[in-house]
Amino acid sequence: MLNQNYIDMCGMKSVIRELFSYGSERAKEIGYENVFDYSLGNPSVPAPESFTNEMIRLLQSENPVTLHGYSPSLGIDSVREAVATSLNDRFDMNYQKQDIFMVSGAAGAIAHAARAVTTPGDEILTFAPFFPEYMPYINSTGAVLKVVPADINTFQINFDAFVDMLNEKVMAVLINTPNNPSGIVYSTETIKKLAMILTEKEEEFGHPIYIISDEPYREIVFNGVDSPFIASHYNNTITCYSFSKSLSLPGERIGYIAVNPACEDSALLVDMFGQISRGIGHNCPPSIIQLAVSKALYDTADLSVYETNKNILYTELTKMGFDIVEPGGTFYMFPKALEEDAIAFSNKAKKLDLLLVPSNSFGVPGHFRISYCIPTEKVQRSIPVFQKLADMYL
């Protein structure tokens, strides 16, 4: 008999993926240039040459038996060492090789972290608006994801609601800053307050409460924005990183988990991640991709286009009357829809071949997400289409 859980999951398709599929089909009908597809968070700039050149060098120069050989189950030693060093250099931390676990992107990192720090029935809290795939990542572990309502004026943390929801069963708090879908970066003040509350509650409940920090957008922060490194403000931090956005490698599934060495049980946690990978038969990310990213740890793709696009959209849409909390990073923006029903709003936009994701699955009603990782000329050409949409609500 087949497992009903997974059959049920098949029925719950991602709204984002469905909109993206619609866009691809529509592009075949009316031409790619005529569909303003703001649905998917797929980087639009090439990977840096340091990555590509290192891949080619490895393939041309290294002994293939060694190059393509098994990686140790926690990751290749030299790669783990390089990741630790780069974090220490950039964020004044004290990571060592044994605090780093190589993993296939932030998604795997979050799922591993959640499995390690909970037993079935425990709770993990996250903050709206949130990335909807957190639901399958957490709920597949047997723990329960609960969502703290948003502070829709700032998209920082709604602390009153948060404190009300903290209880003994909460083993971790899952945060994402810079944030998908709001584009907001949590301020140092927000992080300090979060750390203070968690420290008090750890004492009260008598067990650690981990911050699982989902940081794929860490490198996409706009000019002048305060962007604290979470682990430097809270010992029990498990940092989940992906190179998908910073190096424009979303399909290559490569990232890491960094456990703060000041965290309780840091060494044990990394060993546990290895066992979790073993149990699902996943093992390590590919050897060659581990090796190549380790030579690009201080690089990024040219991410400046995202700030350019943000500036155009924020300025023009605000002028049209859209209510937007200005993003501090990422390539997302999360304006208020022009009617209460975000799905109806998104459907009206769709008729103009403007693809906007309605906010419901992000845990906030009445908003929409714009993923502006598309060419700037297309952003510019989309402005009159947004105007047409706004005019429908005059």
Restricting to residues 196-235, name those near its own copies by CB under 8 A.
207
In angstroms, what is the minimal distance from the CB of 116 to its own copies?
Answer: 6
Strands 123-127 and 144-148: parallel
Measured from the CB atom, the residue of 112 and 218 that comes closer to its own copies is: 112
The answer to whether 44 contacts its own copies (rule: CB under 8 A) is yes
The answer to whether 98 contacts its own copies (rule: CB under 8 A) is no
Longest dimension (CA), the chain: 67
Which tokens go with 237? Answer: 């931090």
The window from 193-201, 281-289, 322-330, 355-363 that contacts its own copies (CB under 8 A) reads: 281-289
Measured from the CB atom, the residue of 110 and 150 that comes closer to its own copies is: 110
Is residue 126 within 8 Å of residue 137, measured between CB atoms?
no
One of 269, 296, 357, 364 touching its own copies (CB under 8 A): 269
The string of DSSP letters for 317-380 reads: HHHHT---PPPSBTTEE-PBPSSS-HHHHHHHHHHTTEE-EESGGGT-SSBEEEE--S-HHHHH
Is residue 219 within 8 Å of residue 229, measured between CB atoms?
no
In angstroms, what is the minimal distance from the CB of 269 to its own copies?
Answer: 7
One of 26, 81, 97, 133 touching its own copies (CB under 8 A): 133
The answer to whether 394 contacts its own copies (rule: CB under 8 A) is no
Measured from the CB atom, the residue of 227 and 361 that comes closer to its own copies is: 361
Restricting to residues 308-367, name those near its own copies by CB under 8 A.
none
One of 65, 121, 223, 377 touching its own copies (CB under 8 A): 65
Is residue 368 within 8 Å of residue 384, measured between CB atoms?
no
One of 34, 154, 188, 275 touching its own copies (CB under 8 A): 275
Report whether the peptide linkage leading into residue 261 is cis, meaning its omega lies within 30 degrees of zero. Answer: no
The answer to whether 75 contacts its own copies (rule: CB under 8 A) is no
Distance CA 384, CA 53 (A): 41
